Each structure stands twice: as structure tokens, then as C-alpha cells.
Amino acid sequence: MKATIVTIGDEILIGQIVDTNSGYIAKALDKIGVQTHEMLSISDDKQHILTTFASLQNKVDLVIITGGLGPTKDDITKHTFCEYFEDTLVVNPKVEAHVIELIEGFYKRPITQLNRDQALVPSKCEVLFNKMGTAPGMWMKKENTVYISLPGVPYEMKYIVDNEIIPKVVKEYKRPYFVHKTILTYGQGESLIAERIEHWENSLPEFIKLAYLPNPGRVRLRLTARGENKETLEKAIQENVDSLTKIIGDIIVGFDEDQTIEVVLGRLLAQQGKTIATAESCTGGKIAQMFTSVAGSSHYFRGSVVSYATDTKVSVLGVLPSTISKHTVVSGEVAKEMAVGIKKLMQTDYAIATTGNAGPAKGDADAEVGTVFIALATPEEIIIEEFNFGQPREKVIDRTANKALEMLQKEIFKKLP
């Protein structure tokens, strides 16, 4: 099966908002063996929408559209659906009852006609119930293509995809199996990894494909197998992962999309009953954000101080002014005192500190732009490393955060039985 995902909205085309819906839908479809053929973003223009619908008919099995289902005049998707399918809008009693209950019962305000109009749907459509909002999804078929319309609000879209669309596609369509395995590596770049695993990669069976997904400081290797027998695919994937681990096991930190290094570290810290805090300057809270993105991180992550200004390093973290005067604010000595200060302040077992010149200007130090110092305070010692991550600024911040977590992971792994 093939699908095309279409996002409708001028706000996406002018960069006012970022389209995250397409990625979520594509992942959900991939898990059930539906291949996303392309993703399109189009304007809030009836003719543009109609032309897009016509161009996709009988070329893909599913066209999934998000956006344009709100109550205001600029939301034209339902009316465009009616024109394309030569249909008219009618009130759906179930949707109307839900809208009334949501507006008057939950939000405790009088319902307006605009709210009521959310219950209008094309008479030929199959309604996809939206428990999370007032705009229902719509499922309509024309010849060999199903057109599915979803609200653009992400949490409403996700509910309908997970609870309505995916179960319906699984029930009604025969699909091939796709099996994925993602290997997470830290510390080596894409080209170096490719050199190390060249022979292994060349030996992969034809039905298994390898993709490199690089980010600053880390590379994900995604294996994808496609075929008719799920158990055969899973066995083949696992055998090749086992052989890959023998080659680059020194840089592998986890597996699958959900097993990021912050998830792995969180699990290890929780299992050992250890805690951590961060003192961040050039990373601006990025490392703390990575830790707190994991549910349950309050069990091991105590907190963070973003000591961006030099005087904050002194007044909050206890960095000595004489240390700054002698070594400058971008130095291993300052990173060390930041790590010691946050560890003492938060009463933790581990602490990470970062200071550097992320650029584009040098700030309060003469160190070369891109220079970063990372200090890791463990229960036994303080480890300090210096790096130059170049430019641009975003790359420096991302690589520093990833490298800091890699340093922590290596120290914790040393202590594992």
C-alpha cells in the first residue's frame, strides 16, 4: 500500500508553524506496512486542493489530509470535499451531541452556531470520531483511492490516527510486513562508521536496507526488512544486528527509536539509585531538556542551573573570581568548579557542566569560537574534556549536549557488573 500525506495551511508554507503531523502519520503507517509515497504541503485554496486531490486519485491507496477543519471561514476542507465528491453537508447527530457536551459541559460556555457547524459533514463520508476536539475526521473513497481528512491540531490528529484510522486500515487491507531496528551510536561520525562496517553492509540480504541517520555527535543506523513473513524478517534483522554489534559494539548505546541515550541513562541511574544535575552555560539548558523529556526523570534528575552570565557562575555555583581571571570563563578549570558547585548545590551523585564559545561572537572569553569544555563530576573523580565543534552555533550546542551524555554513559558503563 502507498499513501500520500497532505498538509493544508498557508501558515505552514510561510514557515509560521512547523509541520509535525506528517511525521507522526508516516510513522504510524509504517508500523502497519503502509509506505508513505510522498508528503505535500499546499495552500488554503480550493482550486489548489481540488487539483491535488485529482492528481493523486488512483495513484496511491490513501490520501491523508490534515488541516482546514476548523469553524472559521478560512477552513475550507469540508466544503472542498463536498465539491470533489459531488456531495452536500449534513448534520451528524453523534458529532453534534459530542460538540454540545464538550462546549457546554466541559468548557462551561454557551455553544455558538460556529461550534454547531462542526457537526456538518459530507453525507457520503464515514465519520472518524474525534474524542479530543470538535472537528471529526472524514473517510471517503473515490474509485481506488481513499481520502481521509483530519484536524490539524496535533493531539486531535493523533487520537484519530491511533484509534480510528490505523485499526480500520489493519482490518480492511492486506499489507506486507515492515520490520525496523534502529541502532544508536555515539562518538563517531557517519563516514568512519561506514568504513568500519563496509564489509558487513555489503553482505546484507537484498530484502534488508540500511539507512544512516546522522546528528551532531551521534548516528542512528536503521535496518528495514520488507516481506510477507514477519517472523522470518525479525529473525534476519536480529542476526544482522548481532553481527554488527561485534564490529561496533564500542559505540552502540541503545536500540530502537525510543531507546535514546537519555532514556538509557535514565534507566541506569534509576536502577542504581543515583542522581544527577547539570550546570550549563553554552548549552543553555539543552542537556536538562534532554533528561526531562523522559517520563519519570524526576526520580534521578535533580535540577539544573543555566549559568549563562559570568557573574551567575560566581554567585550561584560558587566559581571563584580568581579562577575566571586566571583561566577565563571558557576553561577546564571553570567547568570543573561549575560541576563541583552544582553537585554540592543539588546534592547529587553525578554532575555535568558545560562552558564554551558557541558563537558567533566570543563573549566573555578569548577562546576560539566553537571551543567547549565539559566537566563530569562522578562519585569518585572529576573528568574534564576540551573540544572544538566548529560552527554554526546550533551544531556546537547539539554536539556538546550529546558529547556530555556520551561521557556520562561511558562512566556509568564502567561501573556495571
The confidence score (pLDDT) of residue 73 equals 65
Q: Where are the domains of the chain?
A: 2-172, 177-255, 263-414
The confidence score (pLDDT) of residue 411 equals 92
Class of domain 263-414: alpha beta
3 state SS for the chain: CEEEEEEECHHHHCCCCCCCHHHHHHHHHHHCCCEEEEEEEECCCHHHHHHHHHHHCCCCCEEEEECCCCCCCCCCHHHHHHHHCCCCEEECHHHHHHHHHHHHHHCCCCCCHHHHHHHEEECCCEEECCCCCCCCEEEEEECCEEEEEECCCHHHHHHHHHHHHHHHHHHHCCCCEEEEEEEEEECCCHHHHHHHCHHHHHCCCCCEEEEEEEECCEEEEEEEEEECCHHHHHHHHHHHHHHHHHHHCCCEEEECCCCCHHHHHHHHHHHHCCCEEEEECCCCCHHHHHHHCCCCHHHCEEEEEECCCHHHHHHCCCCCHHHHHHHCCCCHHHHHHHHHHHHHHHCCCEEEEEEECCCCCCCCCCCCCCEEEEEEECCCCEEEEEEECCCCHHHHHHHHHHHHHHHHHHHHHHCCC
- Please tell me the least confidently modeled range out of 157-171, 254-268, 305-319, 389-403: 254-268
Indicate the pLDDT class of residue 153, thresholds 50, 70 and 90. Answer: very high
Mean pLDDT for 303-332 is 96
Q: What is 2-172's CATH number?
A: 3.40.980.10
CA 164 to chain centroid, in Å, comes to 23
User: What is the third-level CATH fold of 177-255?
Assistant: Alpha-Beta Plaits (3.30.70)
The rounded distance, in Å, linking the Cα atoms of 251 and 200 is: 16
Neighbour tally for 363: CB within 10 Å: 18
Indicate the pLDDT class of residue 72, thresholds 50, 70 and 90. Answer: low
pLDDT over 70 at 276, yes or no: yes
**pLDDT digit string (tens) for 89-142?**
999 999 999 999 999 998 899 999 888 988 999 999 999 999 999 999 999 999
Sign of the dihedral defined by the CA atoms of residues 288, 289, 294, 299, in that order = positive
- Answer whether 177-255 and 263-414 agree in fold: no
Q: Are 401 and 287 in contact (CB under 8 A)?
A: yes
Mean pLDDT for 340-360 is 95
Average pLDDT in the chain: 92
Phi, psi (deg, nearest 5) at residue 71: -85, -5
Mean pLDDT for 277-297 is 96
- Please tell me the least confidently modeled range out of 25-29, 74-78, 169-173, 303-307: 74-78
| Higher per-residue pLDDT: 95 or 257 | 95
